[in-house]
């Protein structure tokens, strides 16, 4: 029954997508992040839902009057250069079925990311997309938070099968990425909708609880980073500080001893004291660095394979996945790819900072400064937690990038229109009063 209900909802979306292409953006985000078809039990799980929705959306977009160009700001230029470099490294690498499938998946994500960027042309659209993304991911946070309470923190929380954040570590990071976005969206709810505001606040609490319930050490690092930057960037520092100070001891005491034992292994006195998982990561990171020094094009999308460990790893027999966005890109695409990828996010941070500078003194544009600050917090979560996870090609961080870019475009457009209007007004006043002044002088 559940399969038919999900299928009916997805089919019902198609006419709306054909009529309004931006509705296709929202449905695409919902399918991508919530992967609702994976909530079924039968045939719906194997249907190519994302491909069908993506195809319908593209047809609708191509035949619409929606803008067909993207703003070429610095993050997008670096993104395009990084994609070009990935094509080059793919050509230079050994191609097996895994590499080909991964390359196709990454390119589809990049293509759809740029299409979505072209359509984020207004504040309303930016916020609508953020609502869909945050609530789609937040669903698993709310669900996981309730499960954590039911099991008193003893059960480990996992993400949706078939998605980027199925693993417990990946889910924790993803939840902390969307937390600042939810913090912004809550402020959009009118003050008289008190129960909605309280409900979203409770959802945020459950999301934090779910992230801790994943028992992810990287998730805890992301939690600390997000908490600090939310306090630093948030509008009410005293209230945020009080919430953090009151919630921290409660959450700390609530989690079971197994959680405390695991978190205690984040920092050890020396390398030999770490467990096998952490040692494997250290070994993989050194392998990636050594391989990037030897191979300008990196090892390709299947770079972390046994033969490369024999060639470049300090411990050849300890094969391990990258477990780091930084070393994942370095190992796959070499130092050139790594610096291009890093430049995407550094320039995105700079764009967000520019937007804050342009808008923070304008009451009518404070919403833009607020979004920019919260997106910076989300980027910090990704940068901190991603140091221990191989999520370099995850579409959510790229969505943060295009949202920052689209936000700046919207702000600059409004400022330019106001400037043009002011010049027109000044010219009109000058044309009106200049003849009068000349007659007086005569």
What value does the mean pLDDT take over residues 161-172? 85
- Residues 356-403: tens digit of each pLDDT: 999 988 888 999 999 999 999 999 999 999 988 889 999 999 999 999
Distances (CA, A) of 327 to 32, 102, 221, 323, 331: 25, 17, 18, 8, 6
What is the C-alpha to C-alpha distance for residues 362 and 356, in angstroms, rounded to an integer? 10
pLDDT score of 441:
58
**121: its two tokens:** 């042309």
- The proportion of the chain whose per-residue pLDDT surpasses 90, expressed as a percent, equals 57
Structural contact between residues 23 and 14, judged by C-beta atoms closer than 8 angstroms = no
Alpha-carbon span 225 to 212, nearest angstrom: 14
What single-letter DSSP state applies at residue 235?
S
On whether the CB atoms of residues 349 and 379 are closer than 8 A, the answer is: yes
Q: Taking residues 341-356, what's their average pLDDT?
A: 96
- Is residue 67 left, alpha or beta, with left meaning phi > 0 and alpha meaning psi from -120 to 50? beta
pLDDT, the chain, mean? 89
pTM score, two decimals?
A: 0.91
pLDDT band at 435 (very low <50, low <70, confident <90, very high): low
Distance CA 335, CA 431 (A): 60
Q: Are 411 and 355 in contact (CB under 8 A)?
A: yes
How do residues 42-80 score in pLDDT, each as one tens digit?
888 888 888 899 999 999 999 998 988 899 899 999 999
Containing 371, the helix (H) or strand (E) segment is helix 366-385
Spatial CA neighbour of 230 closest among 378, 103, 96: 378
Using the 8-state DSSP alphabet, how is residue 38 labeled? G
Which DSSP state fits 156? P
Which of 360, 308, 298, 362 has the alpha carbon at shortest distance from 333? Answer: 298
pLDDT of residue 167: 86
What does the alpha-carbon distance between residue 438 and residue 67 come to, in Å, rounded to a whole number? 48
Determine the Cα–Cα distance for residues 418 and 241; give it in Å rounded to an integer.
38
- Report whether 219 contacts 268 (CB < 8 A): no
| Cα–Cα distance for residue pair 405/240, rounded to 1 Å | 28
**Residues 103, 136, 124, 198: is their CA dihedral positive or negative?**
negative
Decide if 256 contacts 298 (C-beta within 8 A): no
Instruction: Please report, to the nearest 10 degrees, the dihedral formed by the alpha carbons of residues 350, 352, 353, 359 taken in order.
Output: 150
pLDDT of 290 over the 70 cut: yes
Q: How far apart are CA 280 and CA 288, in angstroms?
A: 12
Q: CB within 8 A of 345, min separation 6: which ones?
A: 75, 379, 382, 383, 397, 401
């Amino acid at each position: 029954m559940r399969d038919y209900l999900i299928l009916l909802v997805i089919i019902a979306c198609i006419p709306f997508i054909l009529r309004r292409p931006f509705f296709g953006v929202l449905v695409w985000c919902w399918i991508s992040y919530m992967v609702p078809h994976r909530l079924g039990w039968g045939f719906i799980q194997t249907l190519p839902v994302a491909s069908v929705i993506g195809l319908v959306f593209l047809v609708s977009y191509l035949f619409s009057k929606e803008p067909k160009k993207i703003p070429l700001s610095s993050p997008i230029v670096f993104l395009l250069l990084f994609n070009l470099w990935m094509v080059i490294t793919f050509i230079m690498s050994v191609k097996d079925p895994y590499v080909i499938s991964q390359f196709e998946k990454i390119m589809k994500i990049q293509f759809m990311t740029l299409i979505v960027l072209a359509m984020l042309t207004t504040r309303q659209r930016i916020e609508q997309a953020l609502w869909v993304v945050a609530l789609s991911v937040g669903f698993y946070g709310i669900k996981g938070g309730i499960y954590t309470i039911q099991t008193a923190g003893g059960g480990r929380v996992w993400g949706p099968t078939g998605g980027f954040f199925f693993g417990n570590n990946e889910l924790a990071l993803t939840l902390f990425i969307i937390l600042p976005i939810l913090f912004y969206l809550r402020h959009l709810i009118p003050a008289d909708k008190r129960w909605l505001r309280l409900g979203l606040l409770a959802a945020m609490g459950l999301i934090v609880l779910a992230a801790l319930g994943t028992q992810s050490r990287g998730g805890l690092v992301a939690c600390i980073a997000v908490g600090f930057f939310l306090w630093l960037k948030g509008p009410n520092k005293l209230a945020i500080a009080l919430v953090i100070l009151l919630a921290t001891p409660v959450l700390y005491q609530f989690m079971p001893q197994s959680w405390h034992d695991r978190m205690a292994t984040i920092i050890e006195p020396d390398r030999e004291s770490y467990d096998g998982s952490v040692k494997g990561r250290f070994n993989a990171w050194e392998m990636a660095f050594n391989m990037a020094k030897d191979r300008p094009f990196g090892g390709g999308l299947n770079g972390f394979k046994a033969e490369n460990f024999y060639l470049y790893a300090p411990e050849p027999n300890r094969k391990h996945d990258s477990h780091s966005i930084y070393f994942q890109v370095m190992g796959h695409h070499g130092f050139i790819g790594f610096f291009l990828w890093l430049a995407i996010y550094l320039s995105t941070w700079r764009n967000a900072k520019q937007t804050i500078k342009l808008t923070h003194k304008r009451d009518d544009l404070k919403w833009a400064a607020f979004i920019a600050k919260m997106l910076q917090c989300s980027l910090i979560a990704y940068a901190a937690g991603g140091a221990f996870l191989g999520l370099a090609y995850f579409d959510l961080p790229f969505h943060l990038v295009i949202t920052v870019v689209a936000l700046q475009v919207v702000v600059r457009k409004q400022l330019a229109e106001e400037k043009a209007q002011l010049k027109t007004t000044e010219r009109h006043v000058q044309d009106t009063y200049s003849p009068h002044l000349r007659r007086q002088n005569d």
